[in-house]
Amino acid sequence: MSKLSLRDEFPLDDTLIYLNHAAVSPWPQRTGVAVKRFAEENVHQGAYQYPKWMEQETQLRAQLKELINAQSVDDIALLKNTSEALSVVAHGLSWSAGDNVVISDQEFPSNRLVWESLTPQGVQLRQIDLSSSSSSSPEQALIEAMDSHTRLLSISSVQYASGLRMDLARLGEACAQREVLFCVDAIQSVGALQTDVQAMQADFVMADGHKWMLGPEGLAFFYTRPAAREQLRLHQFGWHMTEDYLNFDNKNWRVAHSARRFECGSPNMLGICALSASLSLLLETGMDRVEQQLLENTRHLFAAIKASKNLQVLSDMRERRFAGIGLFQHQHVPASRLYAGLMEKGVVCAARGAGLRFSPHFYTSAAQISEAVTMADNLVC
């Protein structure tokens, strides 16, 4: 894909430098066009073309299957967000008092609160220090925390604040050897890095579309391995989660064999239209190329910060330990003031953890990254 076409796909306001894809991404041009077309169709025709909308839903599942290398489209459900998918897992499994869940101490609240909610059932939550000097690696720290009472390990593929990237294949292998369920919050990596749910031996993987997938808020995918899917009890019921869901008069209904069993009601057709358009850009570009350019942008970000006078990188800069997130701090300016000052100058970023988070995507130019770092370096109280 040419640089010109990428510029056309992201006609961002010239007054902004957008470095906040780890929060909410701007849409590609094609996504805006698709949503406008969908809106006009609704205004003038209502749901007359609903069969075409259902074809778009089928297409989105196929795109997601390709994006994460799922074995089948039947393994993918379309839910509202990552938190809902995590809740389906947490409150779908049958727990016994004394069971434990292992997570890290760096998780976004979605991957912490849901497991804390199991406390009344006697489930222990183990939050592991990934930076502990007593373990040879973050993965080893998590593996050592598991014991015979561990039912599930849940981890973010990339930590939202520090940007630490996990070795998911190693964790998946360790879980498989111990017969521990493996759950991955992949919201900070799908759309940024090549993702293979089969290679990581994951039982459950979920991610919203509004970050690196460049889609809208309000639509997420939920991958379940078939054997793991059967372990989840259902707490929501409706017409869309039955096997023969278009047979509205069926009195002898049964739950869908596929992951559609987790979709109790009508699909978010507007979100489906938008996310499908966004994913078409990523897939046309090729996730290998997206990943390569995104990692190069992050390397450039780290190099620019290291070359500055007043900034210090807080993220792990070792290869395969970072994705699209760079966390840093100013030696003299508090993170809150740095954030406010940069936002005033049109640098869209986020204050996270102990510093400021820049998260460029694959299409972000090196010049924009350098300019933003220079503005951060020269900011004064």
CATH number at residue 172: 3.40.640.10
**Same domain (yes/no): 177, 63:** yes
The parent domain of residue 163 ranges over 40-284
Residue 353: predicted pLDDT:
87
User: Final residue of a domain: which of 250, 284, 318?
Assistant: 284
**Same domain (yes/no): 137, 240:** yes
DSSP 216-232: -TT-EEEEE-HHHHTTP
**Same domain (yes/no): 215, 79:** yes
**Same domain (yes/no): 72, 18:** no
DSSP 10-55: ----TT-EE-BTTT-PPPPHHHHHHHHHHHHHHHHHTTTTHHHHHH
Angle at 112 between CA 109 and CA 116, to 5 degrees: 125
**Same domain (yes/no): 161, 309:** no
Does residue 63 form part of some domain? yes
Percent of the chain having pLDDT more than 70? 98
Total number of domains constituting the chain = 2
d(CA 330, CA 112): 29
**Same domain (yes/no): 138, 117:** yes
User: Final residue of a domain: which of 284, 306, 340?
Assistant: 284
**Same domain (yes/no): 92, 234:** yes
Contact residues for 40 (Cβ-Cβ < 8 A; gap 6+): none
* Secondary element (H or E) of residue 142: helix 138-145
Residue 2: predicted pLDDT:
43
pLDDT under 70: residue ranges of the chain: 1-4, 133, 381
**Same domain (yes/no): 257, 155:** yes
Contact 158, 167 (CB under 8 A): no
Does residue 35 form part of some domain? no
**Same domain (yes/no): 324, 370:** yes
pLDDT digits (tens, 9 = 90+) for 168-199: 999 999 999 999 999 999 999 999 999 999 99
d(CA 237, CA 59): 24
pLDDT digits (tens, 9 = 90+) for 82-123: 999 999 999 999 999 999 999 999 999 999 999 999 999 999
Does residue 91 form part of some domain? yes
Contact 315, 299 (CB under 8 A): no
Contact 190, 197 (CB under 8 A): no
CATH number at residue 18: 3.90.1150.10
Please tell me the pTM assigned to this model.
Answer: 0.96
